[in-house]
Structure 1
Amino acid sequence: MLCQQFNINRKKPVGLLHPIEPPKGPCQLIGMDYSGPFPTTPEGNKYVLAITDYFTKWVIAIPLPNQ
């Protein structure tokens, strides 16, 4: 009885998914990812900002010195 009395439900409630419509052209839907820290480059950069266009799959990676 004690086990059931103090058994806490740790499950998160189920949420609804909301699908994202695919883009119909360039720059309509982009994603951004920030990664790091990495070993410092000779230019002093330790982080990378990656920007992806979901229509064209074009990726731009921008080196950054700090957060």
Structure 2
Amino acid sequence: MTGIVVDFERCEGHGLCEQTAPEVFRLDDEGELHLTRDTVGAEHESAVAAAVRGCPVAALKVQP
């Protein structure tokens, strides 16, 4: 399992993470990012890695 670190100051609510891994990331009606889980199991690791790579403002990181 891995953890996700979000730099909420940097996040601009583009929503690419939610599109890439909706089972882990969710934007609310105000565009604020929420994590739906604290850790990521193997079944979601590749989607989360793609979301981290696709974040246009580099607000996401994965930690072991």
| TM-score for the superposition, normalised by structure 2 | 0.25
Q: Which has the greater radius of gyration?
A: 1
Q: Which structure carries more relative contact order (alpha carbon 8 Å, separation 6+)? A: 2
More helix by share: 2
| TM-score for the superposition, normalised by structure 1 | 0.24
